[in-house]
Structure 1
Amino acid sequence: MYKVMLVDDDYPVLELLSEVVDWESLGLQLCGKHENGLAAWEHAQQEKPDILVTDIGMPKMDGLELASKMKQLNPSVRIAILSCHSEFQYAQQAMRLNVQDYLLKDQLDPEDLVRLLGKFKAGLDGERQMHQEQNQMRHVVNETRELRKEKTFRNFIQQPLIFAAQWQKEFRTYGLLDAGEHCIPVIGCIENYGVIKNRFDSDQTLHFAVSNVMEELSGTLPLHTVHVGYSNRESLFLFAYKPGIKRNVHDQVQESLHGIQNTLGKVLKIRMAFLTGRGCDSPEGLKQMLSALVSSEEQRFYLTEGEIAKWQPDVLRAAGLFAHYDSAGAEAREALIAKDEAEIVATAVKWEALIRESRFPSDEVRDWVLKLLIDLRLKLHALLYTSSATSAETLHKEIVQFDSLWGLFQWLKSHLRSYISVREEGTPASKRREVTEAYNYVSLHLGRRITLEEVAAHLHMNHSYFSRFFKKETGMTFIEYVTRKKIERAKELLDQTSHSVNEICAMLGYDNQSYFIKTFKTQAGVTPTEYRG
């Protein structure tokens, strides 16, 4: 609905106009009635009306001054002057302010105002439709331009370099490798991509969301920056500079990357880690460096959360992680049997440190973690008579999404906690397999929104029956149980990490931070900030 503001120091006129017009049927909302221009102006800065109907002669601020200010605030506002003054000079001044109509009170028929408001609305509808079409066209043009740029750089990296001069000419259209200029390429990787992408409609939506943010941000960075969405989770950033500038260019690149991290975090709630390449002054050098960055999966696997590191040539690492498997498995099984969550998490931290120090091949690390979880799952199966076949398949699908050691071990620790949780809760609370499976499902998916319907479907049960069944077996509703587990996890994150409340809110699948804080306070008696205090 469009907002309408009425302003007249003649109160009976104000009341009459507000009552005789059926605002809702016109698709309008009366957002304010004021008896002087100053009060109307103060209110307008908050409400920003689309239509203004105002008298001219009023105390504190007259209607013409108000109309002038409203045009500055909202150039598309429709204005009608309503006055007893019929003198030509008032009409002239109103027209100079681009006032759409000039109505005389002593000759006004309310139907005239209704027709005028209808005309105003039709004009606003037309403008809105035009803006939507223009925005849609701009969006299509931007997407086409981004797709062309991405295809250009993929071809440059993946195909043989034959015509270097032609590529140099192409790059100059992006403001890169101009005469005497160099550029530093950087590759950025979205962290926890497997979790992040679930918040967007599709991979493509996430891909273009990052591109749109970068388009807005690039002009504010200290160096000319070109962003290229190389894949769904990887972005290339090219920073142009002239050698010999007074400020250290590497400091400017660092500043730019921190700015990109902060903006992506605030706007999209995603985080990137970066690997910075060496400066390049030719297409040949740029191709070599970009190819090296794209192929640097092993070095990127060992980046810590949010790390900005310099690229180094890959050093082949010898396999050997499985030599530690038996002792690691024994430690985990002992902690599982003892139901000691602190011990099993501490053990996982020790394994992560060992792997980071030794830099085993990333594929071997994934295989090692997967085998460990499957073996522990089988142990849990023996203890609680739970099904393990589907879980093993799910583990395999999930683990391939992790391209960083820290993300992989966050996932591992989450599963280990869930195994302890099932061990603690499954046996005493209920011997029914369905309840144990529901507990396990919740523990494994605390990072997103969990519905009763999806868990019932997972268990091949009718959701209404599952709701009653769960309440009967556990003494609480399924939603109450999910909320309790999420708040327990939130407390762990507040105690054991430096993540902000906003980050923890997103990590637990809450879209609304205010709702998360309210839920936390209901469960814990204090807000998350007070709890961490």
Structure 2
Amino acid sequence: MYSVMLVDDDYPVLEYLSASIPWKDLRLEVHSTCKNGAVALERAQAAPPDIVITDIGMPQMDGIELIGELKRLKPDIRCVILSCMGDFSYAQQAVRLQVDDYVLKETMRPEQIAALLRKLSDQIAAEKEQSREMARMRSKKEENALLLRQGLLDRMTTDGGRDLAWADGAAEAGIDFEGKVWLPVLIALNRWSELSRRLPDERAVQAAVGQAAAGLACELPGTVLLPHGKREAVLLFPFRRSLTEMKVESVRPSLRALGERLSAESGISAAFLIGTSAAAPAALGRAAEQLLSSGAGRFYLPDEGIFTLAELPDLGEGDLHDVYPEALQRIRDAFLEEDEAQLEAYIGSWLDLVRERHCQPELVKEWTLKMLYDNQTRFLALQHYQSVFSMEVLHRTLGDIATIHELGDWMLQFFKERMPLLGLIYKQSRRSEILRAQQYVSHNIGSKITLEEVADMLHINSSYFSRLFKRETGYNFIQYVTTAKMERAKELLARSNISVEEVATRLGYENKSYFAKLFKKHIGGTPGEYRGE
């Protein structure tokens, strides 16, 4: 539905037009009725109409001046002059302003105005459809060009760059090797989860990168952008073969400017990895393939910046099973205590261990997922916590994390978002003594814990505390402590190489046999069976 503004200093004319035109039948609506051009312009600035019907001679601002201002505000606005002035000079001005029609008040009829409005609304609809069709055609053309360049990169890196069939069609994308050396640079888009909240879809991200790279191509003619998936692309910089020195340093200012442009215009965090220059198709294919396969090493680089292949760390083959249990316990305790500073410190310590060992990123993500899952299941068991926790969603989110810096920020945010819920759980408990007792057990899981010592800590009678705990939780206290210790034992057995005897000692059991008996009673198998020995 299009809107029509009516402007005339003669109120009966405004009233007549408002009442006599079948607006709904024409699928039009009255935008506003204004007594002069100044009022009309003010209202149009807030929300421009599609069509304006205006008188010429009005105080403060006449119709000719109003139309000029409206055309500047909305160039495609349709304008009709409705006037009692038949002076040819006014008609000339109207023509210069590309007014759509000029109607004399003395001859106007409702059906005449209605027919004119129907014609104008049909023109607007036709132009909008034409614009949509042109936009679709441009979008299709851009999509085809994108697919062509992406397909070229896929073929270029097939079979480690040894398949040279791609070279025949490379010239169409602007890649030729006549007297040239090409320097490939990988663009890696980081913090994808944040980016996807700012831009509507993958195509919008690709378009933003393409527009920014187009500005770079104007500065450095011959630069070629080859997209790769939703969060990577390869930039190819051409150099004359005689200019073999300083190629890397010469592109750094341009890459820095490109990174700043992506951040400022689209909120994109991009890291650039400079590859090896190549003077032949096979060498360029290998260089591009090397960049695309660098994802694991890039995990330890900052989210933004310019790097070379030499700066990628050598990844270790080590595991994290020996440091996992202690890290889990510390992070869990800090969370239980709602201590953000400690939580941040312990997450930082965990990631420092990861950095120190340069573990494979997928392994790091697996251990992190395990940590979040273990934390959540403990709350389910000990806090009767109704969870909306989804392993599938977490796994997908972790899969999109590209750097260890992003992983640390995301882990901290994960726990911080749940702290208010933890506080709510505490507030919902009828007895704060029970919560304090549960926290005491969690913090002293490695010691021998008795009902009497906890009751003393709470300054209440031990018999009363025993009855209170049973009534509030459904467990007797000793059963609760034993269950908590057995859950901790499962973690230690599954995620470390320490002996069963050492596990028993860490949980406050002096007798290994007694510990094994309790474990079998609660878990259904011996510690050795649980470990798979």
TM-score range, shorter chain: 0.5 to 0.7
Measured after TM superposition, the shift of residue 76 of structure 1 is 2.9
Partner of 1:500: none
TM-score by length of 2: 0.66
Among 273, 276, 285, the residue aligned to 1:275: 273
Partner of 2:492: none
Alignment of 1:449-528 (within 5 A): none
AA of the residue aligned to 2:128: R
Partner of 2:266: 264
Supply the distance in 1 between the matched residues of 2:306 and 2:328 (Cα, whole angstroms). 33
Cα deviations across residues 302-360 of structure 1 (Å, max 9, x unaligned)?
Answer: 12333443333663424153343344345345546666553233111112123224322
| Unaligned residue ranges in structure 1 (runs of 5+) | 437-533
Partner of 2:402: 403
Measured after TM superposition, the shift of residue 295 of structure 1 is 0.5
Say whether residues 1:348 and 2:347 are aligned partners. Answer: yes
AA of the residue aligned to 2:153: F
Measured after TM superposition, the shift of residue 35 of structure 1 is 4.7
Partner of 2:480: none
Q: How many residues align?
A: 424
Supply the distance in 2 between the matched residues of 1:7 and 1:223 (Cα, whole angstroms). 53
Measured after TM superposition, the shift of residue 15 of structure 1 is 4.0
8 Å contact from structure 2 (residues 318, 357) kept in 1: no
Measured after TM superposition, the shift of residue 296 of structure 1 is 0.4
Change (3 A) 1:39 1:273: same
Measured after TM superposition, the shift of residue 92 of structure 1 is 5.2
Supply the distance in 2 between the matched residues of 1:65 and 1:389 (Cα, whole angstroms). 62
AA of the residue aligned to 1:410: D
Alignment of 1:116-195 (within 5 A): 116-159=116-159, 161=161, 170-176=169-175, 183-193=182-192
Supply the distance in 1 between the matched residues of 2:108 and 2:340 (Cα, whole angstroms). 79
Among 225, 228, 235, the residue aligned to 2:226: 228
AA of the residue aligned to 1:81: I
Q: Equivalent residue of 2:302, what SS?
A: coil
Identity of aligned residues (%): 32
Change (3 A) 1:428 1:52: closer
Cα deviations across residues 345-395 of structure 1 (Å, max 9, x unaligned)?
Answer: 311111212322432222332333334444444544553356999866765
Say whether residues 1:55 and 2:55 are aligned partners. Answer: yes
Change (3 A) 1:147 1:239: same
Alignment of 1:67-466 (within 5 A): 67-68=67-68, 70-71=70-71, 73-88=73-88, 90-91=90-91, 94-95=94-95, 97-159=97-159, 161=161, 170-176=169-175, 183-193=182-192, 206-221=201-216, 222-223=219-220, 226-239=224-237, 248-265=250-267, 271-312=269-310, 315-332=314-331, 335=334, 340-384=339-383, 398-417=397-416, 425-426=424-425, 429-430=428-429
Supply the distance in 1 between the matched residues of 2:341 and 2:72 (Cα, whole angstroms). 62
TM-score by length of 1: 0.66
Supply the distance in 2 between the matched residues of 1:400 and 1:28 (Cα, whole angstroms). 51
Q: Equivalent residue of 2:187, what SS?
A: strand
Supply the distance in 1 between the matched residues of 2:163 and 2:419 (Cα, whole angstroms). 60
Measured after TM superposition, the shift of residue 70 of structure 1 is 4.2
Measured after TM superposition, the shift of residue 94 of structure 1 is 3.5
8 Å contact from structure 1 (residues 380, 419) kept in 2: no
| Unaligned residue ranges in structure 2 (runs of 5+) | 436-533
Change (3 A) 1:7 1:281: farther
Change (3 A) 1:237 1:29: farther
Supply the distance in 1 between the matched residues of 2:123 and 2:391 (Cα, whole angstroms). 61
Supply the distance in 1 between the matched residues of 2:416 and 2:283 (Cα, whole angstroms). 48
Q: Equivalent residue of 1:315, what SS?
A: coil
8 Å contact from structure 1 (residues 340, 420) kept in 2: no
Measured after TM superposition, the shift of residue 65 of structure 1 is 4.9
Cα deviations across residues 384-416 of structure 1 (Å, max 9, x unaligned)?
Answer: 356999866765565444332223333433455
Per mean C-alpha deviation after superposition, the further-off stretch among 104-113 and 334-343 is 334-343
Change (3 A) 1:351 1:35: same
Partner of 1:523: none
RMSD: 4.0
Supply the distance in 1 between the matched residues of 2:418 and 2:59 (Cα, whole angstroms). 73
Q: Equivalent residue of 1:99, what SS?
A: coil
Change (3 A) 1:139 1:292: same
Supply the distance in 1 between the matched residues of 2:341 and 2:327 (Cα, whole angstroms). 15
8 Å contact from structure 1 (residues 187, 237) kept in 2: yes
Change (3 A) 1:393 1:430: farther
Change (3 A) 1:45 1:220: farther
Measured after TM superposition, the shift of residue 423 of structure 1 is 6.2
Change (3 A) 1:63 1:158: same
Supply the distance in 2 between the matched residues of 1:60 and 1:329 (Cα, whole angstroms). 74
Cα deviations across residues 140-169 of structure 1 (Å, max 9, x unaligned)?
Answer: 2322221222112111112465686x8567
Measured after TM superposition, the shift of residue 299 of structure 1 is 1.8
8 Å contact from structure 2 (residues 155, 166) kept in 1: no
AA of the residue aligned to 2:351: E
Measured after TM superposition, the shift of residue 259 of structure 1 is 0.9
Supply the distance in 1 between the matched residues of 2:57 and 2:421 (Cα, whole angstroms). 76
Q: Which has the larger radius of gyration?
A: 2
8 Å contact from structure 1 (residues 177, 281) kept in 2: no
AA of the residue aligned to 1:79: C
Per mean C-alpha deviation after superposition, the further-off stretch among 400-409 and 167-176 is 167-176
Q: Equivalent residue of 2:52, what SS?
A: strand
Cα deviations across residues 463-519 of structure 1 (Å, max 9, x unaligned)?
Answer: xxxxxxxxxxxxxxxxxxxxxxxxxxxxxxxxxxxxxxxxxxxxxxxxxxxxxxxxx
Partner of 1:491: none
Supply the distance in 2 between the matched residues of 1:181 and 1:390 (Cα, whole angstroms). 55
8 Å contact from structure 2 (residues 225, 234) kept in 1: yes
Change (3 A) 1:285 1:106: same
8 Å contact from structure 2 (residues 82, 105) kept in 1: yes
Q: Equivalent residue of 1:236, what SS?
A: strand
